[in-house]
Homo-oligomer: A and B are copies of this chain.
Amino acid sequence: MPRKPAEQTVQPDAILKAAATVFYRKGYHGATMAEIAAEVHLTAGSLYHHFPSKEDLLCAVLDHGLTQITRSVRAVVNSADPPAEKLRAIVQIHVLSEIEHVNIAAAVIFEGRALLEMPGVRDQYVRQRDTLEGLYRQVVEEGIAAGDFRPVDVGIFVKTLFGALNWVSLWYREGGRLTGREIADEIAGTFLAALRPLPADDTPR
């Protein structure tokens, strides 16, 4: 009994990537199924053999992107490196994700808002996002506890860092003055400098 044919002519992953690209370029509402399909040389209708709807496609993109970056970041957080090293490594990962697999991470960031209109889905997304943010938070808290970082409002600090990192996808251009790695390093430098403990006050009274 003949079954289970066709080794995926177009891989779901390619579609995800295409969708991420277009969502990022146009926003969820601005993106058309036809445009996404064209990106992988299909017609709009054909996409429905792979994903049941545009909304599902967005969810898949977000889920995939967040899962991936979270995995990488978690590995760093669980390592034995000192907090400053961890922070630097995380910034690298975040920036390079945005730039290299460009669109997945970037779409995640910006199209979260579109998801907020879709109740059932929203929770899953928010949970994943909070998990990722929690990892950043953990590193900062660890550094403060160890005395490597000065005390800051961790909530605000992490949001600030996130904003700065996510913004990169809006201005980064291939072949610009700096490479992604250099950009990440500069940004990490800024935030590590911000966390330098205040100089001990040795001034004699």
Taking the complex as formed, is A51 at the interface, i.e. its CB lies under 8 A from any CB of chain B? no
In the bound assembly, the distance between CA atoms of A11 and B199 in angstroms comes to 55
Contact A183 B166 (CB under 8 A): no
Least CB distance, A123 to chain B, in whole angstroms: 17
Interfacial residues of chain A within 107-155, with CB under 8 A of chain B in the complex: 110, 113-114, 117, 150, 152-153, 155
- For this chain, the copies found in one complex come to 2
Chain B residues with Cβ below 8 Å from A167 are: 159-160, 162-164, 166-167
Q: A interface vs B, CB < 8 Å?
A: 26-30, 110, 113-114, 117, 150, 152-153, 155-157, 159-168, 170-171, 177-178, 183, 186-187, 189-191, 193-196, 199
Given contacts A27-B29, A156-B178, 5 further A-B contacts (CB under 8 A): A160-B167, A163-B163, A163-B166, A193-B193, A193-B194
